[in-house]
Chains A and B, each alone.
Chain A
Amino acid sequence: MLGDLQKQIPNSVECELKMMHSKSALTRFANSHIHQNVDEESADVFLTIHKDGKTISRSKNITGIKSSKEFVKEALDSLDESPKDTTWAGLTSKSESYEGFQELHEANPEERANLVRDFVKEGEDMNAAGYCSTYLNNFFIWNTNGLNSSDTSSSAFIDGIFRTDTSAGSSHRGAVNINNLDASQTGKEAAKLAVDSQNPIDIDPGKYEVILGHEAVSTILVFLSVYGLNAKSKIDGMSPILLNENQFDEKINLIDTPEDSESIGFKIDASGAKKYNLEIIKNGVPSTYFHTRRTSKELNMENTHHEFFGVDDYFGGIGTNLNLDKGNVSHSDMISSVKKGIYINEFWYCRVLDPITQVVTGLNRNGSFLIENGKITKPIGRLRFTQSFIKSLSPGNVISVGDKSRYADSEFGEGMLKVPKLHLKEFNFTGGVSG
């Protein structure tokens, strides 16, 4: 179809044509059995035409395109009505072309169901809920500069909780291929957290030393990524990130790793340009924002190729292969070094109160414990935090970085962040069970 559409594009315009073909499936379980099992195939076409300073964007799925000629004509006819596009940054050059398409086959529902069974088995006395999902995406892009890029991305996830009458515990795994998911290990971790969290006590809110599990760390970083490192936030005056300053603790090293073989996601961005491994924060010093063509032009900075497929390009750049460097401290050593503190497995429902200070409020769930004199002593109940995520990683506040890293779920989704645990000196809890 892209070939047919290309033939309809007049020479007098700049044009970009994209097609995303996806097969995605998700097997969902609750009350320890599979209750929803979904499978989807989609094929969407995105057309952008620019001429005389004006831009028009149209998208349809392929069933919506009755004829290639009509689809292009509709867009061209609307171009005159379009407003001036003052931030147009041109098309990706032909030299950026990348051929990454692969013929891969999607996983089947039996494979997902088997992983769910393996997870549920690890806590048969408890109530299990969660999902196993698989994705296969093919992306094709052509433009009038002569760029022809393609790529294929596959991913799979298992995520779940176990619940008792008084507690819950969760765990998560992500990988490029479903065969690389260890559902039993994931289930074991979740089950242990649920068992250990039973009959929690309430503690007073206040400032505590904390050890954050993979999911909690992932949520802090995804907020910094989407609201801070996104160059669009900088343009809008809302980014807290200060380039080339010692803004974070020197133990914080954040790298974007699209070129790694185990990285989930495309190796090209939505403009069709090849992505490269890139240092984002080195020894606590941020070195770049995530750029798109438009933001790099507006800020006169180098394009980092973080245009994100699936959101309008005015949203800005998002890092999707982020890897927080692991350290050398084991989980048990982290715990034994705490005189009085809290272990938090996962944050929940986090929202920004002020973008520039990145003060965020949210709660803990699925496994939280009081640590006293180097030992986990009691499970604890719900706490509300109100804390600047920037300050949480500021110089001197990161005591240690865990020695194991994995893909973690986050407030904005899975597959974007591979992180270790973190031990932080202070975290501000502003409310308990009573509000």
Chain B
Amino acid sequence: MFDLLNIAIDSAISSGAKYSDARILVSKSRNIAAKNGEVENFNESEKIGLGIRALVGSSWGFYSTYDLSRESLISSGKKAFEIAKASAVVSGKETPFADVPVVQDEYTTPHEENPFKVSSTEQIDLLVNSTEQMKKLGTSRSSGRLDFWDTEKWFCSSQGHEIFQNIIESGGGISSLSVGDGETQIRSYPQSFGEYRTGGWEVIKSFEFGKHTQRLAEESQRLLVAPQCPEGVMDLILEGSQLALQIHESVGHAIELDRILGWEAAYAGTSHLELDKLNKHRYGSELMNIVADATLPGALATFKYDDEGTPAQRVEIVKEGIWTGVLSGRDSAAIAGVKPGGMVRADGFSRLPMVRMTNVGLLPGESSLEEIIESTDNGIYMETNRSWSIDDLRLNFQFGCEAGWVVKNGKIIDMVKNPTYTGITPEFWGNMDMLANENEWVFWGTPNCGKGQPSQIGHTGHPASPARFKNTRIGVRG
């Protein structure tokens, strides 16, 4: 494969590109969905192809194809160059490109059982049984899904990189939906839309769906008759997976350097962060320590090299509440004057690599969830995301959760439905005053992060443990 890649790269360079790199991917996926004890979807797919990019002046040119013949590879390199060159009609300053070590290496995701070698019958049975159990317990619609990805990726650059990686990802989840009089209530496990990690079939086995079906069915029905979440300003306690999404939306996207530089302005938006405030801006309370760590074993965004050949690394993003780092690639880092962070990835061979969150997580604190609840006089504990919305500066957000519990005088006293909370990013994080410890720290994964044009879906990780936020506006309704 490296020989094929170098044919395309040589073609781009000999055409006049300043730099070129290319990837060949063999991407396999298996997707299973079940509803009410029956399989709703079972699909396997495989795609093989090449994506090559060329840097000319101020623009990247990118071309992708399924055709790996020699003629096509030569033509692809030329096209990448010509596409970039066409950008000269509306050109800007030449794009700089930071150096990283040139390596020849390979990496395979550590895993116990390749999910594609496990019988699909066993995987289907797990979902059928779980959803059947919840249906029998009275849920209106029980559903479950499993997704597996096996991606073999060969990467070469005009500087001499030759890297092979085999990334294996597994995930899924189950949920119980109950329909009442003009409303629906849902409970999901391990989190809404499922939990995803790097690893094999053992990831799914660790979820132990069977131990959670009864709780999900009961809670979704109980929510139908539960009172509405109260409105007001009070303490908010977030369960880990909801906090993970809070990190994703209000920190992860805001620290993407391509957004800060305006490259995503028309679609995904920009950021409230400005580079001249790096190492000065207070992002949150002193309990807030965020790192982007692509080396965490088993987390969803763990790899050895990104799609520019930069080594995976651990980058400090927020230290004791002060903003200290960004998510960067070789071009954006060179412009901003920071070290390339190894955070550029593409959604398949046919997409241009772009800045992507790795495992952007909140380091654990010293409390436990139990202690947090015990020390809360008046608040709501919220679990599992149901809706999310944030402005294009990543400042003004509103989240809804599946279930809430009223906490009074240190005790959970009542379940409430339709819990929501809203806030402004730095104020909200500034109000974090308790954080659970490493015993409750989970490597939550988000497999559906949309960004870029053409649209790309990214897989990101967000380690988090439960936390408390003082004086939060809760219970916004339409």
Contact = CB atoms under 8 A, between A and B. Distances in A.
B389 interface: yes
A387 B92 contact: no
Given A30-B265, A127-B265, A428-B478, A82 B49 contact: no
Nearest to A294: B40
Contacts of A244: none
A289 to B, nearest CB: 17
B103 interface: no
B46 interface: yes
Contacts of A82: 39, 42, 120
Given A348-B392, A356-B184, A357-B183, A37 B476 contact: no
A33 interface: yes
Nearest to B85: A109
Contacts of B266: 30, 129-131, 159-161, 170
A354 interface: yes
A365 B395 CA distance: 13
A60 B89 CA distance: 38
Interface string B119-152: 1110010001000000000001100000000000
B478 A81 contact: no
Contact of A359 (B124, B454, B478): B478
A333 to B, nearest CB: 29
Tell me if A's interface is mostly helix, strand, loop or mixed. Answer: strand
Given A58-B44, A357-B182, A117 B454 contact: no
Interface residues of B, number: 84
Contact of A237 (B83, B140, B264): B140
Interface stretch (A4-12, A40-48, A218-226, A251-259): A40-48
B59 A352 contact: no
A131 B453 contact: yes
B96 interface: no
Interface residues of A, number: 94
Contacts of B84: 37
Nearest to A389: B478
Given A43-B66, A64-B46, A348 B391 contact: yes
Given A30-B266, A40-B65, 9 more contacts: A25-B83, A42-B65, A82-B120, A238-B177, A312-B33, A355-B184, A361-B400, A362-B389, A385-B478
Closest 6 CB pairs of A and B: A33-B92, A109-B86, A34-B87, A386-B478, A129-B266, A113-B89
Interface of B: 26, 31, 33, 38-49, 58-68, 79, 82-84, 86-92, 95, 119-121, 124, 128, 140-141, 177, 179, 182-184, 261-267, 269, 350-352, 386-392, 396, 398, 400, 418, 420, 422-424, 427, 453-455, 473, 476-478
Interface of A: 24-44, 55-64, 78, 81-87, 108-110, 112-114, 116-117, 120, 127, 129-131, 133, 159-161, 163, 168, 170, 236-238, 312-314, 348-357, 359-363, 365, 382, 384-388, 413, 428, 430-431, 433-435
